[in-house]
Amino acid sequence: MPLANAAAGTEASPRPASAATFSRIDVVSDAICPWCWIGKRHLESALARLADAGQGFEVHWRPFQLNPDMPRDGVERAAYRAAKFGSIERSRELDAQVAAAGAAAGLDFRLDRQQRTPNTVDAHRLIRRAGEAGGPAQQDAVVERLFRAYFQDGHDIGDRAVLAEVATEAGLEDAASFLASDEGVTEVMAEDSGFRRLGISGVPSFALAGHILFSGAVPPERMADAFRRALEILRARGEEGQAQ
């Protein structure tokens, strides 16, 4: 399933065919998705395995809202989760499952600290801005700090002051003024809608060279194998000179 038309005209859409295209991984993600943080750790491990075999990749983070109708200021988490899952007890059971899976990946989820479920449009704007300003490395730093701020520190990442602090920690300048504007809103919403039109309904979803390969925080060895096999297919199509 190609990503190329997910958000036509946006700067974050995949580039034309080139050597870099076939080493590009796009991760469709939401900043409040716990499996996306776990999936990020699994991806890092998978890419380390592939790097040992001489294959490098460039990772780009793309926007998806798990709660596209969330109010701008978010909602109180406990009440929202109780309504969504039927009871606060069921919500806590699910939180415990996430925490256990996170611990297995080396992550410390402190979901008991969370007070609000936020709207994530501004978080996605910030992630997009980081990619434009500092490339994949700075975008990765912002994504990592957003996950940590929400899942470990319990901060409200719908709060622009919190987001500006996250940006500063990641070395991204002028975030407060950027967030106070409407810059990037149209592009983020267009990408989110585009991914839904492509049939994406859950995250994380992972694409290589604009083609969705799998969704979910699958184990690192399976991720590495999927990327390896996808590269082989691209090369078999006569594009081996570009799939390096």
Residue with tokens 């402190």: 110
In a domain, 103, yes or no: no
The length of the chain, given as a count of residues? 244
Whether residue 243 is predicted with pLDDT greater than 70 in this model: the reply is: no
Q: What is the pLDDT of residue 236?
A: 84
Domain that holds residue 130: 21-68+119-238
- Residue 163: give its domain's CATH number: 3.40.30.10
How does DSSP assign 84-136, residue by residue?
HHSSHHHHHHHHHHHHHHHHHTT----GGG--EE---HHHHHHHHHHHHHHHH
211-215 and 205-208: which strand pairing?
antiparallel
In a domain, 79, yes or no: no
In a domain, 159, yes or no: yes
In a domain, 92, yes or no: no
Between 160 and 19, the more confident residue is 160
- Comparing C-alpha atoms, which of 51, 65, 37, 22 is closest to residue 140? 37
Contact 20, 56 (CB under 8 A): no
In a domain, 192, yes or no: yes
> Among residues of the chain, what percentage have pLDDT more than 70?
89
Indicate the number of domains in the chain. Answer: 1
pTM: 0.90
Contact 42, 101 (CB under 8 A): no
Confidence band of 19 (pLDDT split at 50, 70, 90): very low
- Which residues does 91 contact at the CB level (< 8 Å), separation at least 6? 78, 81, 82, 84, 85
Q: What is the pLDDT of residue 122?
A: 98
Instruction: Output the CA torsion sign for 186, 188, 194, 196.
Output: negative
Confidence band of 54 (pLDDT split at 50, 70, 90): confident
In a domain, 1, yes or no: no
In a domain, 78, yes or no: no
DSSP-derived letter for residue 139 is H
In a domain, 13, yes or no: no
pLDDT tens digit sequence for 115-144 = 999 999 999 999 999 999 999 999 999 999
Whether residue 20 is predicted with pLDDT greater than 50 in this model: the reply is: no
